[in-house]
């Protein structure tokens, strides 16, 4: 830097004060010119340029046309000499598709993603597994006489199921707005307020305690209150986890990771019956408590234990994650920044809220997710539906396991394929058509084999779509972190609004066919397909306009 200052001063004297330049200065200038030419020649021969400031980007006439070269041009201002440690901040980009998304070929980037996988996915998976166990304990409790012990009549049980989602929906958007401004590790498992504030609010701890104390409920009113509080305390977790994943994974990666994370839901749904069955049969009456009460106590206690470990393992933003090295933090941040379409600088949480609300695409994704989860309304009543096959309680609980195991496989394969081929619309369309087939089989026959096969099909195929919709949302509406956080929360909030009204589509009086619910679910699934194609055509139009405005643009929306 000092030599550059001397060089600049000498050139200034030479240009504007020739007579005042000494002969020794003139000789020094010539020496510097020759030395610079020799150094530049050496650098060119080794294909490395040292950039002291931003390089000039070639003129449009000089730009290459292939996607790989276009991305390389966009990366030019970040290129450094091979001996500069900061070179690690940029992944090596070789294979680029039509949307500007690249396939990992850089060994350092591959190693980074594996490290992130091993730190983030296991703890989020366990948290979601317990989250769903705690939420669904009431559903399994019905098979142990929970509704009779509490004296629930008419639709009171359905109301207790749906009231959870009222609290759940109220907290999601505000929660994700806060999450964008505090440490996620503190907020989701530890302190909700930075340590300088001396206030603490552990959301996983909170929902675990509420779940445990539900065993004290003795009537309709107390159960209603506990379910509402459980919804409020669970609200930050799921949209916060999706936002966390979107901060660390690219468009080609995020759907698969969301799918793996979501298998925690599947596993909880599959094994909740198997967990409940021995508790009901072996602990019912112990210490004067019913089996369903012991279920709440045991699952709540385990969740409290996991909350302590989650604080140490959950990450913050890529640049502030304690278990990444400084070099890894820079690379983690840069690869997501480069992968985002129409990226803008950070803004306020309120502006992020306004941008998300004013973008009509947000509302299409919200409708798409709502219709999808409306078709998914069977999840709260699957044990009741399976019970129509005329087995006893224990066998019924066991038979709820295979459909969810099948769905866990399906929910990973579909997003993996979607990420591999960077395609969304056809994956959603085909999955939803398979769902419709399953519902048709279940509603059209009372034959045990046909109905159970139909249940396997519609349960399995449904869960392959959920992660595609939210992953698509996080990539299309990611112009700022604030907008992305709000958009994910809005889609999940309005999507889960379906859980308020869908319980009323599954009354016991409609057993065994549940005709209204099955036909409505077919209609909801077709609605999802329509929304997906509306978004596809809209994004195709947007991409076409981007190409017309800038023929050398490299990053486009995936559809």
For 335-390, write each residue's pLDDT tens digit. Answer: 888 777 666 666 677 888 888 889 899 999 999 999 999 988 877 667 777 777 77
Three-class DSSP category at 95: strand
- Mean pLDDT score of the chain, rounded to an integer? 76
- Taking CA atoms, 311 is separated from 83, 120, 132, 315, 405, in Å, by 37, 12, 19, 9, 29
234-293 pLDDT, tens digit per residue, is 888 887 888 888 888 887 888 888 888 888 887 887 788 888 888 988 888 888 888 889
Query: Concatenated DSSP letters for 146-191?
Result: HHHHTT--TTHHHHHHHHHHHHHHHHHHHHHHHHTTS-HHHHHTS-
* Span 177-190, average pLDDT: 66
- For residue 30, the model assigns a pLDDT of 46
- If one counts every other C-beta atom within 10 angstroms of the C-beta of residue 3, the result is 9
Q: Is 90 exceeded by the pLDDT of residue 529?
A: yes
As a whole number of angstroms, the distance between CA 8 and CA 134 comes to 69
* Span 206-223, average pLDDT: 88
Pick the range with the lowest mean pLDDT from 55-69, 88-102, 229-243, 457-471.
55-69
As a whole number of angstroms, the distance between CA 444 and CA 171 comes to 40
- Taking CA atoms, 191 is separated from 12, 204, 205, 311, in Å, by 58, 10, 10, 9
- For residue 60, the model assigns a pLDDT of 38
* Span 523-532, average pLDDT: 95
What's the predicted TM-score (pTM) here? 0.67
Identify the structural domains of the chain with CATH numbers, from first to last. 1-50 (no CATH), 107-549 (1.20.1250.20)
Q: Is 70 exceeded by the pLDDT of residue 26?
A: no
Our separate counts of H helices and E strands in the chain read 23, 2
- Dig out the tokens for 361 from the structure: 């695409």
Peptide bond preceding 512: is omega within 30 degrees of 0, i.e. cis? yes
Beta bridge partners, 103, equal 95
Q: Give residue 3's pLDDT band: very low, low, confident or very high (50, 70, 90).
A: very low
State the sign of the Cα–Cα–Cα–Cα dihedral 319, 321, 327, 333: negative
Cβ-contact 32, 7 below 8 angstroms: yes
- If one counts every other C-beta atom within 10 angstroms of the C-beta of residue 154, the result is 8
Q: Tell me phi and psi for residue 66, to 5 degrees.
A: -70, 150
Burial of 7 (0-12, 13-18, 19+ CB in 10 A): middle
Buried b (16+ CB within 10 A) or exposed e, 355-381: bbeebebbebbbbbbbbbbbbbbbbbb
Buried b (16+ CB within 10 A) or exposed e, 101-124: bbebebebbeebbeebeebbbebb
Q: Is 50 exceeded by the pLDDT of residue 14?
A: no
Q: Is 60 exceeded by the pLDDT of residue 84?
A: no
Q: Give residue 95's pLDDT band: very low, low, confident or very high (50, 70, 90).
A: low
Greatest mean pLDDT among 53-67, 73-87, 246-260, 425-439 lies in: 425-439
Q: Give residue 91's pLDDT band: very low, low, confident or very high (50, 70, 90).
A: low
Cβ-contact 248, 124 below 8 angstroms: no
Angle at 486 between CA 416 and CA 188, to 5 degrees: 75
- For residue 344, the model assigns a pLDDT of 65
If one compares 128 and 67, the residue with the highest pLDDT of the two is: 128
Q: Tell me phi and psi for residue 280, to 5 degrees.
A: -65, -45
């Amino acid at each position: 830097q000092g030599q550059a200052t001397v060089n600049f001063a000498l050139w200034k004297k030479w240009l504007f004060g020739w007579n005042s330049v000494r002969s020794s200065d003139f000789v020094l200038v010539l020496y510097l010119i020759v030395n610079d030419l020799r150094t530049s020649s050496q650098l060119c021969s080794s294909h490395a340029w040292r950039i002291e400031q931003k390089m000039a980007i070639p003129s449009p006439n000089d730009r290459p046309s292939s996607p790989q070269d276009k991305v390389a041009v966009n990366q030019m201002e970040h290129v450094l000499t091979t001996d500069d440690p900061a070179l690690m901040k940029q992944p090596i980009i070789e294979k680029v598709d039509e949307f500007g998304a690249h396939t990992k070929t850089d060994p350092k980037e591959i190693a980074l993603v594996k490290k992130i996988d091993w730190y983030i996915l296991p703890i989020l998976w366990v948290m979601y597994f317990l989250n769903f166990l705690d939420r669904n304990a009431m559903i399994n409790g019905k098979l142990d006489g929970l509704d009779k012990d509490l004296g629930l009549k008419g639709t009171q049980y359905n109301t207790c199921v749906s009231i959870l989602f009222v609290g759940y929906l109220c907290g999601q958007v505000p929660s994700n707005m806060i999450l964008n401004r505090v440490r996620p590790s503190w907020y989701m498992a530890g302190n909700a307020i930075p340590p300088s504030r001396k206030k603490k609010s552990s959301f996983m701890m909170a929902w675990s305690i509420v779940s445990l104390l539900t065993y004290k409920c003795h009537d309709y009113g107390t159960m209603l209150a506990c379910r509402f509080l459980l919804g409020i305390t669970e609200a930050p977790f799921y949209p916060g986890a999706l936002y966390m994943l979107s901060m660390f994974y690219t468009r080609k990666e995020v759907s698969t990771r969301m799918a793996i994370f979501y298998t925690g839901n599947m596993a909880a749904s599959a094994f909740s019956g198997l967990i409940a069955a021995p508790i009901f049969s072996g602990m019912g009456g112990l210490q004067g408590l019913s089996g369903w009460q012991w279920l709440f106590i045991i699952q709540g206690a385990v969740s409290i234990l996991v909350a302590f470990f989650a604080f140490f393992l959950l990450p913050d933003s890529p640049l502030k994650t304690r278990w990444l090295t400084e070099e890894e933090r820079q690379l983690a941040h840069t690869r997501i920044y480069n992968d985002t379409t129409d990226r803008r600088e950070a803004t306020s949480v309120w502006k992020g809220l306004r941008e998300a609300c004013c973008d009509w695409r947000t509302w299409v994704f919200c409708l798409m997710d709502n219709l999808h989860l409306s078709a998914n309304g069977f999840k709260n009543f699957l044990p009741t539906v399976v019970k129509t096959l005329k087995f006893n309680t224990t066998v019924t609980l066991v038979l709820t396991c295979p459909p969810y195991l099948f769905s866990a496989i399906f929910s990973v394969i579909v997003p993996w394929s979607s990420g591999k081929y960077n395609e969304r619309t056809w994956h959603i369309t085909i999955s939803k058509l398979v769902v419709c087939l399953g519902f048709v089989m279940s509603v059209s026959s009372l034959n045990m084999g046909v109905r159970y096969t139909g249940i396997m099909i519609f349960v399995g195929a449904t869960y392959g779509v959920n992660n595609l919709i939210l992953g698509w949302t996080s990539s299309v509406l990611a112009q700022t972190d604030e907008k992305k956080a709000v958009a994910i929360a809005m889609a999940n909030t309005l999507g889960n609004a379906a859980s308020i009204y869908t319980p009323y589509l599954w009354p016991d009086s409609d057993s065994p066919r549940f005709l209204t619910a099955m036909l409505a679910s077919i209609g909801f699934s077709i609605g999802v397909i329509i929304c997906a194609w509306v978004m596809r055509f809209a994004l195709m139009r947007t991409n076409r306009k981007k190409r017309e405005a800038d023929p050398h643009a490299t990053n486009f929306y995936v559809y």
